[in-house]
Amino acid sequence: MTNRRDFLKKSAVLAVAAAGVGSASSALAGSQDFKKKTPVQEKKKKPNIVFFLSDQHRRQAMGFWKKEKYRNALNGTSDPVHTPFIDAFAEESVVLTQCISSTPVCSPHRGMMLSGMLPHANGVPWNCRIDREWGLINKLDTLGVVLSRNNYSCGYIGKWHLDKPEPNDPANPGKYIGESDPDWTKPLAHHMDSYTPPEYRQGFDYWYAYGTKDDHADPHYYDTDGKRHEPGVWATTHEVDMAISYLKNDKQQRVEGNPFCLFVSTHPPHSRYIEVRDTDPEMYDQFYSPEKIADAKSLLNRPNLGVDGLPIKMTYSTREPSEKSIAEGKGPSEDVARIYFSSVTGVDRQFGRLLQALKESGQLDNTIVVYSADHGEMLGSHKLMEKSVIYEEALGIPMIIRYPQKLKPSVNDVLMGSMDIMPTLLGLAGLGDKIPAAVDGHDLSGYLAGTADKQDKPTFAPYMLHTEQKGLRTDRYSFVMNREGEGALFDNINDPYQLNNIFNEETEIVKELGKTLGAFLRNSDDLWFQERINKDLIQYT
Ligand code: CA
C-alpha cells in the first residue's frame, strides 16, 4: 500500500508543487487508541457538536430567505424551495450570509473543514480519486483528533471522500471496494469511492461511512469494524436513522457521559438528478412533481440562467453538457430542477428528524448544531452545472449554527471560508486554546457571539482551485485569476448575478485585491508565490 499520507506539512507543499502528485514514502504511523477516555465531571462538561453536512446545497436554496427579516440579507433572489425544518432552525441560530467553500469541490473543502489547513498542506488539493496520489494526511491534528484528545467521543456517518481509493477491501484483501459494485469496470477508471481503514479515520472512533457514491437510493457503508452494509434506503434517511441511534447510544457507540462530536455527512443533494428514486419520492410528489408544478421553469428563477459567463478555461463545471451527461442527470434540464429541489427538501426533512431526536434526548441546548454543505450547485446559471467555479451559486454554502449558551439568534455577514470551520468549532466549544499551531484558518467564534473586536474582522475569504486558479471573496467583490493571467472581478453588490466581469476595466480595484491576494499566497508559501505566477497582477512583496 502506498503510504501516501505519512508526511508532514513542508513535504506536502513540495509534493504538490512538483506536479500535484507527490507520492511520499516513510513508515506508516501507528493508529492512536482514541477509545481510552475517562469520564468527565458533568459540571465541566463541554458541549456536544452535531455537524450536519450536506453536499451540493447552495446557499440560495433555503426557504427562510423569503421571510422579511432575511430577505435583504441575501444578495440576489433565493430559490423556490421548501425547507421548513431548516427555516425553524435558522430562527434559533446564527445565520451566515457570506460563508464560502474555499475550494468548491468535495474533497478539498472537507480536508480544509476538518484540518483548518490549506489544501496543499493537508494533502487534499483536489478531489480524491484512484489515479491521484493524495488523501488527508493521517498525522495531522484534525478536528476529531483534537476533540478525542479532550475526551470527546467522535462519530462519523456518511460520505467521507478524503482518501485515495486503495486495494484494501476488508472482505476481499487486495481488491478495491469498487470491484464489489455491479457497475465497476476496471481499477484505472476515474473511481473515487474508498474504504477508510482505522488509522486514517482522523480521530473518529465510531465509523459508518464510505468514500463517495452517486446512486443515493442504493448507498453502502463500512462500519467501525470494516463490515459493509447495503441498507437499500435513500442515503439521508438511513444516515439519520444511524445518527439517532448514536444520539440514543443504544449500541454503546460512544462513551456515555462524555461529550460527543457527530458528523452526519449526507450526499444528497448531489448529481445524479435523473429519476425520482434519486431523491425523496414523497417530497417530490408533495411539492415538485408535474402535478404540483406544471412548468418546471418556475423553479429556475435566477436571471443568469443560461447566460454566457467566464471563458471555458476559467470554469471547471459542466458547461452546456452533452446528451450523454444530460442522460446521466448532469444537464440543465428542467426535470433536474425537480429532482434537485426535492433532494434539498428531503434532506431538510431528515435534518428535522435529527433535531427532534436531539431535543427528545434532552441534549439539544448543550449541543453546537451546525447545518452546512461542502459547496453549492450552478443548476444552469451561466450555462453551468455543479461546482468548481467562483460564481456565488457554487461558492456560497449554508452555515447555520445553533448554540444558545453562547450565540444569540442573528444574521451575520462575517466572511467565513472552509479553513475557518474547524478553529471556530473549537472556539465555540471552549477549546480555543487547543487549536493546533498548524491551523491556517481563523477562530471566528467571537464574531458569531458578538464579543470580538469588529476592527479585526476578516476582510476576505480565500478561493483556490488547486494550482490553477487563485482568488478572494470580500464583502463586495469576487476576484479570481487563472495561471494565464485571465481574470474575473464581480461587484456582488451592484451585480448580484455576476453578469459583468469588470476585471479589465477596474484596474485600481484589481491592483488593490492583487496586493491582498499576494500577501495571502506569500504567507501560505503557495506554489504561485514560489514561482511568482502572474507577478504583474499579484503583488507578492
Ligand atoms: Ca461535494
Task: Give the CATH number for residue 378.
Answer: 3.40.720.10
Residue 342 confidence (pLDDT): 98
- Model pLDDT, residue 29: 32
Expressed in angstroms and rounded, the spacing between residue 269 Cα and the centre of ligand 1 is 9
Q: Are residues 471 and 424 part of one domain?
A: no
Q: In the predicted model, what is the mean pLDDT of residues 218-230?
A: 97
- Looking at residue 332, its pLDDT comes to 64
**Amino acid identity of 247?**
L
* pLDDT for 536: 96
Using the mean position of ligand 1's atoms as its centre, give its distance from the Cα of residue 214 in Å.
11
| Antiparallel, parallel or unpaired: β 318-319 and 48-56 | unpaired
pLDDT for residue 37? 52
State whether 153 and 172 are in the same domain: yes
* pLDDT at site 165: 95
Q: Of the given ranges (95-104, 153-162, 298-307), which has the lowest mean pLDDT? A: 298-307
**Do the strands 367-375 and 48-56 form a parallel or antiparallel pair, or are they unpaired?**
parallel
Dig out the grid coordinates for 363 from the structure.
441534549
Tell me the CA–centroid distance for residue 536 and ligand 1, in Å: 34
pLDDT at 280 over 60: yes
Instruction: Label the pairing between strands 410-412 and 94-96.
Output: parallel
Cα-to-centroid distance, 416 and ligand 1 (Å)? 18
The answer on pLDDT for 41 being more than 70 is no
Q: What number is the average pLDDT over the span 246-250?
A: 98
Distance 53 CA to ligand 1 centre (A): 10
pLDDT value for 424: 98
Strand arrangement of the beta sheet that strand 460-465 belongs to = 460-465, 469-474, 477-482, 487-491
**Residue 481 domain boundaries:** 460-531
Would 288 be classed as within a structural domain? Answer: no
Q: 271 CA distance to ligand 1 centroid (A)?
A: 10
Residue 7 has pLDDT above 80, yes or no: no
Q: Does residue 308 lie in a domain region?
A: no
Ligand 1 centroid–CA 375 distance in Å is 6
**7 C-alpha to center of ligand 1: Å?**
26
Alpha-carbon span 451 to 448, nearest angstrom: 8
Domain count, the chain: 2
Query: Average pLDDT in the 334-346 region?
Result: 94
Same domain, 413 and 504: no
Q: Where are the alpha helices (DSSP H) in 252-390?
A: 281-283, 323-327, 334-360
Residue 333 lies in a domain: yes
pLDDT mean across residues, the chain: 91
Mean pLDDT of 493-507: 97
Half-sphere exposure of 117 (CA within 13 A, CB side): 27
- Flag whether pLDDT at 187 surpasses 80: no
Measured in Å, residue 68 CA sits from the centre of ligand 1 at 31
Domain boundary residue, one of 428, 456, 484: 456
Same domain, 275 and 337: yes
Choice among 127-131, 236-240, 300-304, 314-318 with the minimum mean pLDDT: 314-318
- Taking the centre of ligand 1 as the mean of its atom positions, its distance from the CA of residue 56, in whole angstroms, is 6
Report the alpha-carbon distance of residue 254 to residue 238 in Å, rounded.
19
CA distance 121 to 112: 9
CB of 366 closer than 8 Å to CB of 47:
yes
pLDDT band (50, 70, 90) for residue 40: low
The pLDDT, as a whole number, for residue 454 is: 86
Q: How far is the CA of 322 from the centre of ligand 1 (A)?
A: 22
> What pLDDT, in 10s, does the model give residues 311-324?
989 998 888 877 77
Residue 325: the pLDDT is: 75
Confidence of residue 188 (pLDDT cuts 50, 70, 90): confident
pLDDT(4) > 70: no
Query: Which of 410, 431, 456 is the last residue before a domain boundary?
Result: 456
Q: Which of 456, 487, 513 is the last residue of a domain?
A: 456
Residue 55 lies in a domain: yes
Query: Is residue 302 one of the residues assigned to a domain?
Result: no
Q: Mapping DSSP to helix (H, G, I), strand (E, B) and coil, where does residue 354 land?
A: helix
* Average pLDDT value for residue range 373-379: 97
Task: Give φ, ψ of 100 to 5 degrees.
Answer: -125, 155
Q: 507 lies in a domain?
A: yes
Taking a C-beta distance cutoff of 8 angstroms, is the pair 418, 101 a contact? Answer: yes
Worst-scoring range by mean pLDDT, 46-55, 153-162, 308-317, 427-436? Answer: 308-317
254 and 383 co-located in one domain: yes
As a whole number of angstroms, the distance between CA 520 and CA 472 comes to 10
Q: How far apart are the CA of 211 and the centre of ligand 1, in A?
A: 11
Do 439 and 487 lie in one domain? The reply is no
Task: Specify whether 465 is located in the same domain as 332.
Answer: no
- Together in a domain, 359 and 227: yes
Query: What is the 236 CA–ligand 1 centroid distance (Å)?
Result: 15
Q: How confident is the model at residue 348 (pLDDT cuts 50, 70, 90)?
A: very high
Find the range with the poorest average confidence among 10-19, 161-170, 404-413. 10-19
pLDDT of residue 126: 95
Distance 107 CA to ligand 1 centre (A): 7
Distance of CA 213 from the midpoint of ligand 1 (Å): 11
For ligand 1, the distance from its centroid to the CA atom of residue 456, given in whole angstroms, is 31
Question: What is the model's pLDDT at position 38?
Answer: 53
By the 8 A CB rule, do 362 and 44 touch? no
Whether residue 319 is contained in a domain is answered as: no
| Structure confidence at residue 39 (pLDDT) | 53
How many A from CA of 160 to the centre of ligand 1?
10
pTM of the entire predicted model: 0.92
CA distance 309 to 319: 10
Same domain for 467 and 404: no
How many Å lie between the centroid of ligand 1 and the Cα of residue 383? 19
